[in-house]
Amino acid sequence: MSDFELAINEFSGSFGVGDYADRPVKVLNAVPGDRWRVRLIHRGRAADIAHGIELLDASSERAEPQCAVQAQCGACPWQMASVESQRFHKRRMLIGQLEHLVSSNLVERVVATVESYGYRTKSHMPVGVQQGELVAGFWAPRSRELVAVTYCAVQDIAIERIRAAVLHSLNMAGVTAWNAQTGEGELRSILIRTVNGRKKSVQVGLVLVVADESSRDWQELVDPWLETFGVTSVWINLHDEPTNAMLGDVTKHLAGAEWLEQSYGAYTLYRGATAFSQSSESGERLLAEVVSQLVPAHCETLLDLYAGAGLFTAVLADRMHKAVLVERVPSGMSAAQKTFASADHVDTRVGAVEEVLPELIGEGFMPDLVVVDPPRSGLAVSVIQALGALTPKDVIYVSCQPRTLARDLHQLTESQFRVKRVVPVDMFPHTPHLEVVVHLESMTR
């Protein structure tokens, strides 16, 4: 097919989208309001994908990316749009996904952190080889081609400094990159996270993901990093499987502190090497603040499901007479137990939510408030049914996937609950990702 002109009308995932010959056509690095000359590169069932050849008319919503490799790297596909444009389209997309479930006037304006650059306090970058040396970067869109990144504008400057120093040390030691085709080599990726970044007590955790633990004395290599690079903790994650998963199942402590300690009001959250946390600490704190503000004053008992290290309990526990956390990952629950060891009114339960909920119902526990923060797959049908049996006065649903949120809201609102507020939280500027916090109230209690 010959080249053709395309007007971009909206965003869809990482792409700008326009219509041509009654078909949606997706183009990377395109902004609503742009007009492009494009060339078709893939015809799909629901939409086609085209390559932008020439930007004919630039949208007023465009902004200058602060990253030199933004057009090649797949990490920040919306960086060429203004922050205001990004938030407008995120809310618009959310309203469309919740259509027929929630009135658009219940979807509030997007709440966002102050920073749109330098905000990521967790970085996990695969490594490769260029000109004979280890480099770190991100995968190019729709490929396994590594785009080397020497400076990432959205990551915490402390992470950037430490990654550069660590890569230099690894190169000096002759560490080799793992090769996915041959299965040979040592290092697959580097994970770095910081906590308490706005305070003097900043801590840095670093994980080396390796395919071959026996290739060298890793502890001897990393011990100097604690003092030289200002690293708090170093771990090694063992991953020799030929998969695209970023982490293996086994993680070992190598040097420094066993945990990172993150201050949340009266409590200290303990963060493990590979435990889940949001990629932005300021965004995570904003999310916790939004949840806290949505909780009605009449709530005195809390059930925190998919609790992780206990973030939401940490910000709500002092307002509750009793709180119960449920988390299936033992390491996450170990961290929560350490956090709330001196809080007699906080109970921790390790196990899958689907298995623990029937136990709590059998014990007669009837919380005023349930906070759910499920994975992208959302809530299992059995969990939604159990929420009905628990009859809480209020449910706060924290979602990272609006599509499964819509599915679950459909079931939750069929009989027992109604949506009171929907708060979109933009924790990931320059990406299509959006956290959504929904407050549901009981129609029976």
Residues carrying an active site annotation: 400
Torsion, Cα 341 346 350 352, to 10 degrees, reads: -160
Instruction: Answer yes or no: are the C-beta atoms of 316 and 373 closer than 8 Å.
Output: no
Task: Collect all residues with Cβ–Cβ distance below 8 Å to 276 and sequence separation of at least 6.
Answer: 308, 329, 332
140 backbone dihedrals φ, ψ, rounded to 5°: -65, 155
Beta strands (DSSP E) in 168-259 are: 187-195, 203-210, 233-238, 250-256
In Å, what is the CA distance from 368 to each residue of 23, 317, 323, 385? Answer: 49, 13, 10, 17
Torsion, Cα 104 105 111 117, to 10 degrees, reads: 40
Q: Per the structure block, which two tokens stand in for 2? A: 């010959």
Burial (CB < 10 A; 0-12, 13-18, 19+), residue 155, is buried
The alpha carbon of residue 350 and the mean position of all alpha carbons in its chain are separated, in whole angstroms, by 23
Max intra-chain CA distance, the chain:
70
